[in-house]
Amino acid sequence: MSRIEARFSELSANNKKALIPFITAGDPSIEQTLMLMHELVKAGADCIELGVPFSDPMADGPVIQRASERALAGGTTTDDVFDLVKQFRQDDDTTPVILMGYLNPIEVMGYQLFADRAEQAGVDGVLVVDLPPEESHEFNQVFSQNHIDQIFLVSPTTHGERLIRICEVASGFLYYVSLKGVTGSNQLDIDAVSGKLEEIRQHTNIPLGVGFGIKDAKTAAEVAAICDAVIIGSALVERIAEYSDNSEQLKIEVSAFIHAIRNALDK
Amino acid sequence: MPEAMIKESETSLCSLPDAGGHFGVYGGRFVSETLMGPLEELEQAYHKYVNDPDFIAEFQRDLKHFVGRPSPLYHAERWSEKLGGAQIYLKREDLNHTGAHKVNNTVGQALLAKRMGKKRIIAETGAGQHGVASATVAARYGMECIVYMGAEDIQRQAINVFRMKLLGATVVPVKAGSKTLKDALNEAMRDWVTNVDDTFYIIGTVAGPHPYPAMVRDFNAVVGKEARQQSLEQFDRLPDYLVACVGGGSNAIGLFHPFLDDSQVQIYGVEAAGDGLDTGRHAAPLNAGKSGVLHGNRTYLMEDNYGQIIETHSISAGLDYPGVGPEHAWLKDTGRANYVAVTDDEALQAFHSLTRIEGIIPALESSHALAYVEKLAPNTDKDKIIVVNLSGRGDKDIHTVAAHEGISL
């Protein structure tokens, strides 16, 4: 059983919802990211989504875009991301790690080499924002042979045939993009999300995560009530940016923020 | 590559892309999930209207009366004489309304937007030509227009920025990344993903997710169709060489496409070598880049070893882009077209040559094509014919040229 599957069945058995924070590898530095990953788990994260920085993050809003820019300015490379996961695994062998990013850094390395290195490092899933199922046949084969789940996105504009097709190829969990827009947008409509999740449920039994636009504990709890996992990105990354020059304060703020969301989810 | 695709491409080089928008391994649709639905909707609308007689009639009417088509195929006799080889003909896209080929595409896409019921159009721009062409059609058809433009390009192209504002467009400065065309494109995509319901994104070049590369090509193919017909009328045969500059590659593919199956016609696309290909400061992905995925399509890119997109350089803002249309990538790999590069200095020299010898001030983009003609023509016989796409006029560039030569205006 994969770490992702194990984690979701454990949560489900305890009637709990998964909390999945997103942070960008190398923001503010690789060392700090490693520290933050452990802190996130301690504060109640069930799974970590680790952003692989890219120069042109088209689907991201300004907050995550700037995180990518900071990471790249600090010299973060794909090699560093693998090393980071490897180091994290020395102390944590159960929390799933999902790499989230764009296709080009993977394409330039080659699907097979990237998948091999990711598997060796202890990566459990990949979410490639600009790789829809139509273009991911070969990618999907390579990564599933390496026991890495490909996490697919479903959006408010995903309908009919395409929704069915995505449900067929998805593994790990499905990531529902709660609104039309980029990461960090501000207009999440809980009724609309709920309706779409019901539609998705008709086609699959794998866990459903919801992300984009979840900014605080209250929204997180509302969303968690209708899905299996909530993903928190920009709101967290914003705090990292704010306290990036004070490592101790950063640890305290990030921990408190995730802890509050954990509590709200478990109420 | 699926076998069917190879067979298809053997029958006609004009039959691509395939149903998924692929030109061989290039092209495709690499976007976030939210845009997949809208792109399918756009593709369906495009296929519906591209064969609709009313749509075609309206498009052709506006190309004739609003844009001023057909553009002449002009025999540059003095320049041909001076270079001492082939006879050179200029396809005068510089004479179009708004001063470049870009308007062919914006008229087509705006008419499509109108039929799709979209009231708001957005566009990205580098040199400002596509922004002006978009603002122009928005005014013409009564639509709201938002243009994303890199903060650095806004500095370089102040006149075009003011022109867009006069036309009623809102120009949004993009301060992320390198503050140039690629960042403007990222930002326009972000707008589109947020406002897909009422917004039509007019991409200005033959790049981006399917169906843009095919659609923008088809709207610009009027250039090549006219040039082909004018060749037959004016010199009773097809030209021996076609030459056009390539940034994203819309003017080039517009000229080349109707000639792809005419194997006797040699095709040259000219990229921006900037300070020189060996300096790394250039914008020539077909000559010195490698395959990758950016802005919704697989193509040749300027990227580092980790797949990060690197900053490009060209004196011409319209060629200053790290990618290139996927059909050009495919034409390069198949060998049907040749891709060469000329430096800033060579382009500037050609800019002056044409201005002084023919009385035509060319855009710096087009000057790259002209600079290659200056290399090609002297090595050809006098009975050969070169058709070069004079894709835009140079009025917008006189400040850049003056500054480069230390002259303050």
Residue whose token pair is 């002056």: B352
Question: What rounded mean pLDDT belongs to chain A?
Answer: 95
Termini Cα distance of chain B: 55
**Fold of the A3-266 domain:** TIM Barrel (3.20.20)
Does residue A91 have an active-site annotation?
Answer: no
Spatial CA neighbour of B23 closest among B204, B208, B214, B205: B214
The per-residue pLDDT for B10 is 53
Contact B325, B281 (CB under 8 A): no
Which amino acid would we find at residue B181?
L
Tell me which residue in A56, A77, A157 faces B38 most closely, judged by beta carbons: A157
Question: Cβ of B182 and A56 within 8 Å?
Answer: yes
C-alpha–C-alpha distance, residues A256 and A266, integer Å: 15
Which amino acid would we find at residue B236?
D
Name the catalytic one among A27, A39, A46, A60.
A60
Question: Cβ of A58 and B295 within 8 Å?
Answer: yes
Contact A7, A96 (CB under 8 A): yes
CA distance B42 to chain A (A): 13
CA distance A146 to chain B (A): 21
Question: Cβ of A130 and B296 within 8 Å?
Answer: yes
Q: What's phi and psi for A226, nearest 5 deg?
A: -115, 5
Domain range summary for chain A, segments of one domain joined by +: 3-266
Q: Is A113 on the interface with B (CB under 8 A)?
A: no
Q: Is A165 on the interface with B (CB under 8 A)?
A: no
C-alpha–C-alpha distance, residues A44 and B63, integer Å: 62
C-alpha–C-alpha distance, residues B311 and A192, integer Å: 41
Spatial CA neighbour of B72 closest among B220, B221, B219, B234: B234
CA distance A39 to chain B (A): 29
The arithmetic mean of pLDDT across residues A172-178, rounded, is 95
Residue whose token pair is 């199922």: A133
| Active-site residue set of B | 102, 124, 391
Tell me which residue in B28, B33, B38 faces A153 most closely, judged by beta carbons: B33
Q: Which two tokens stand for residue B173?
A: 């400065």
> Helices A137-145 and A111-121: crossing angle, nearest 10°?
30
- For the stretch A4-26, pLDDT in tens is 999 999 999 999 999 999 999 99
- For the stretch A108-147, pLDDT in tens is 999 999 999 999 999 999 999 999 999 999 999 999 999 9
Q: Is B307 on the interface with A (CB under 8 A)?
A: yes
Beta bridge partner(s), residue A175: A153, A209
CA distance A150 to chain B (A): 14
DSSP helix/strand/coil, B347: helix
Termini Cα distance of chain A: 29
pTM, two decimals, is 0.95
Return the ∠ at Cα A165 (arms to A6 and B29), rounded to 5°.
110
Q: What is the dihedral of CA A209, A212, A215, A217, to 10 degrees?
A: -10
Q: Is A56 on the interface with B (CB under 8 A)?
A: yes
ipTM score for this prediction:
0.95
* Kind of pairing between the strands at B199-202 and A48-51: unpaired
Q: Which residues of chain B have pLDDT under 70?
A: 1-11
Chain B residue numbers touching A55 (CB-CB < 8 A) = 177, 308-310
- For the stretch A58-67, pLDDT in tens is 999 889 999 9
Does residue A60 have an active-site annotation?
Answer: yes
CB within 8 A of A156, min separation 6: which ones?
A177, A178, A179, A180, A192, A196, B34
The arithmetic mean of pLDDT across residues A154-181, rounded, is 92
Contact A140, A150 (CB under 8 A): yes
Q: Is B210 on the interface with A (CB under 8 A)?
A: no
C-alpha–C-alpha distance, residues A196 and A261, integer Å: 24
C-alpha–C-alpha distance, residues B163 and B166, integer Å: 5
Could you give the C-alpha distances from A239 to A66, A124, B265, B397, in angstroms and in order? 13, 26, 60, 45
The arithmetic mean of pLDDT across residues A68-92, rounded, is 98
Chain B residue numbers touching A178 (CB-CB < 8 A) = none
Q: Is B190 on the interface with A (CB under 8 A)?
A: yes
